[in-house]
Structure 1
Amino acid sequence: MNGMPLYWRVCLINGLVFVVGTAALALAPVTVSATVLVSEAVVLVLGLIGIVVLNSMLLRTSLAPLDRLARLMDSVDLQRPGRRLPESRNSAVEHLVHGFNAMLERLELERGRSNAMALEAQEAERHRIARELHDEIGQGLTAVLLGLKQLSSGVPPAVQQDLLEVQETARATLDEVRSVARRLRPGVLEDLGLQSALAALATEFSAHGMRVRRVTSPGLPELGAERELVIYRVAQEALTNAARHSEAAGVRLSLQRQGEAVILEVDDDGTGMRAAEEGTGIRGMRERAMLIGAELTVGPGESGTSVRLAVPLERR
């Protein structure tokens, strides 16, 4: 019955079961009286139960791939790609399973393309905003500071203290604008490389009260601009989550090579994820990881939350 449509396969199974049941009743030395006796009723009921059980077993074998397909459809997650239903040439629903697997491949491919376009547009927008912050707002605040400095020499002593406070506020605002611009566009990543960018990132978070211990192995292979940017953004998001949500006092930031992959690990000593649903930050990290074929794992660590990104090396 290989290759037979499911409808005709079910009809054939039912037909064979009824034929077997009819032949068994015809050939068996059993008679039925005009008034059905108890013993005759028991035989008929047992025969009916046997037919139903045999029919259900045969149908279950034929329809089992549909149950597996339904379970896979309930659990499929495009952010965790690669799950497929095993195909079998002996399956009555082979064409349905093959079509579903092909649909998953198309959806993952289209999602990957759309994510790549969205993240590329996001990075371009980050660069634009960082440039405007630096060139317009930063230069404007610098001009304000220069003007306040010139005014400070010509104002009465009673006003100088207030003027100094305004200067300090403008200077703090300028520093914050520059810090935001650096986070939006990691120029150190483009100029000095990934390890220097991670060192600057660790220093920045340490300056805000969270201890960041950085562990790197020497001689890391060349990863390319796209992969380095994904590693940097994942590390940045993981450190941000540790500072904002985990109430962590210390974080271990590690970048090392293990076999044919480069592993980024961010482990904090905070309160953990508390069984909360993944937010937009973690989903964004998963989408970035998918773009470069990396594997992202987010879960409980030894004392807090652990983020692990495994970036496979390109085979030459």
Structure 2
Amino acid sequence: MTTLAAPRKGWGRRGRTPVHALFRRVCVINGLVFALGTSVLALSPATVSARVRLTELPVLVIGLAVILAANAFLLRSSLAPLDALIASMRRVDPPHPANRVDRSGNGDLNDLIETFNAMLDRLESERSVAGAAALAAQEGERQRIARELHDEIGQSLTVALLRLKGVVDRAPEPLREQVCDAQETVRACLDEVRGIARRLRPDVLEDLGLPSAINALCHEFARTAGITVARDIDPDLPRLDPDVELVCYRIAQESLTNVLRHAGADAVALRLTADADAVTVRITDDGRGGAVVDGAGIRGMRERALLVNGVLTVDSPARGGTEVRLVIPVDRPGKDS
């Protein structure tokens, strides 16, 4: 049984591929240039003998130069969109949104440019779906670990703490100090487990909203890092889409973690503001600054920002300090269309 092959998607409306259209354009341009050159030579008073004379060489050279220059100019103008297409290909970077190539006024190259733009749309769509699935799985795993830390390890440490309290009451005097030290160690471990669980699953984000969660995050950072965070949080910020709030929280959390690990800063400032069109999160520090390395943390932040159509910029000049800025467009209820 014979199976007919499906038509290729790259063919144009009249059975032409972009390569065929480009080939036709080059042939037409060359034909026009040579026809024009022939017409000029035929109609001009200039003549060439059967054996070219030395005085006629300048006429031939000038004519040839004009034909070549006109041909080069027309071809360059026709193929200029390919330079823009190549430059756009070189700029394609998965963590960043790619710019589309303008297809207006490009004639037979419109099919090629349109196909390239459609390919970028498919890549970004697939990247967004894959990134959303990966981050959803990551959040689910964070919640599972936080739940196990709280329900299992936390409960076990609480039981151990209560039993040590009973032992302290009955321990002889020579051992009481050691049991008290063990009790304090278990209490510190319990506090650390609870802190890890809170960082993995920010319940305050779901219960009280983004401003309260950011305030709690800054308070926890100041307690553990010993660095006070100057906060400027919009008090009138309404509840946003849960995905937007989670992205803002995670990026602020990762930024503060990077300050603690890499910046060597003495002061940190965090701003959370909103207007009619966007929510902005800005974290700055007075650390050492320098070149920004797109490690796993920054790549993760960029991927999270893309999921909500946000733009993340990281600026770290050599003179010192780092600024992380996240801008997410939002649609407010009741906003004028």
TM > 0.5: yes
AA partner of residue 84 (structure 1):
R
Q: What corresponds to 1:268 in structure 2?
A: 285
TM-fit CA distance, 1:89:
4.7
Q: 2:187 aligns with which of 149, 167, 171?
A: 171
- The one of 285, 291, 311 equivalent to 2:328 is 311
Contact 1:62–1:92 (CA under 8 A) maintained in structure 2: no
Residue 315 (structure 2) pairs with residue 296 (structure 1) = no
Q: Within 5 A, what are the aligned runs for 1:170-209?
A: 170-208=186-224, 209=226
State the identity as a percent: 51
* Contact persistence 2:284–2:322 (CA under 8 A): yes
Structure 2 residues not aligned, in runs of 5+:
1-13, 15-19
Q: Distance in 1 between matches of 2:172 and 2:235?
A: 59
Residue type of the partner of 2:239?
A: E
Match of 1:290, SS state, is helix
Q: Report the Cα distance in structure 2 between the residues aligned to 1:95 and 1:206, rounded to whole angstroms.
A: 56
Change (3 A) 1:160 1:48: same
Q: 1:58 to 1:115 in 2, by over 3 A?
A: same
State the match for 2:228 in structure 1: 211
- Structure 1: how far apart are the matches of 2:262 and 2:181? 33
3-state SS in 2 of match to 1:5: helix
In the TM superposition, what whole-angstrom CA distance separates every residue of 1:254-310 from its partner, at most 9, and x where no partner exists?
A: 1122343222211111122x1232222222222222222222222148961112222
Structure 2 residue 262 is the aligned partner of structure 1 residue 245: yes
2:295 matched to which residue of 1? 279
1:79 and 2:106 equivalent?
A: no
Q: Hey, what's the Cα distance between the residues in 2 that align with 1:315 and 1:39?
A: 80
SS at match of 2:107: coil
Q: Contact conserved, 1:220 with 1:256, CA < 8 A, in 2?
A: yes
The change in CA–CA distance for 1:90 and 1:235 in structure 2 (over 3 A counts) is closer
Q: SS of 2:124's equivalent?
A: helix
Compute the displacement of 1:315 (Å). 4.4
**What do residues 14-51 of structure 1 show as CA deviations (whole Å, max 9, x unaligned)?**
122222333344444232463x5443333323222222
The equivalent residue for 2:131 is 115
Q: Distance in 2 between matches of 1:315 and 1:179?
A: 34
Answer yes or no: is the 8 Å Cα contact 1:131–1:181 preserved in 2: yes
Asked if 1:258 is matched to 2:240, the reply is no
Superposition pairs for residues 90-105 of structure 1, below 5 Å? 90-105=106-121
Give the Cα separation in 1 of the matches to 2:260 and 2:58: 74
Q: Show the counterpart of 1:7.
A: 23
Say which is worse superposed, 93-102 or 47-56, in terms of deviation: 47-56
What amino acid maps onto 1:263 in structure 2? Answer: T
The answer on whether the counterparts of 1:256 and 1:263 sit within 8 Å (CA) in structure 2 is yes
Amino acid at match of 1:267: T
Distance 1:158 1:44 in 2: 114
Q: 1:170 to 1:39 in 2, by over 3 A?
A: farther
Whole-angstrom distance in 1 between the partners of 2:189 and 2:106: 70
- 1:44 maps to amino acid: L
* 1:54-109 CA-partner distances (Å, limit 9, x unpaired): 11111111111111101111112343325111112552201000111111111111
| 3-state SS, counterpart of residue 266 of structure 1 | strand
Task: Name the amino acid aligned to 1:145.
Answer: L
Q: Which amino acid is the alignment partner of residue 185 of structure 1?
A: R
SS at match of 2:232: strand
8 A contact 2:100–2:117 mirrored in 1: yes
TM-score (norm 2): 0.85
Choose from 146, 156, 160 the match for 1:130. 146
Q: Does 2:47 align with 1:47? A: no
Question: Aligned equivalents of 1:32 and 1:244: distance in 2?
Answer: 84
Alpha-carbon distance between aligned partners in 1 of 2:39 and 2:280, rounded to the nearest angstrom: 68
Which segments of 5 or more consecutive residues in structure 1 lack a partner in the other structure? none
Once the two structures are overlaid, the 10-residue window that deviates more, 89-98 or 5-14, is: 89-98
One-letter code aligned to 2:238: P
Quote how far apart the aligned CAs of 1:202 are: 0.8
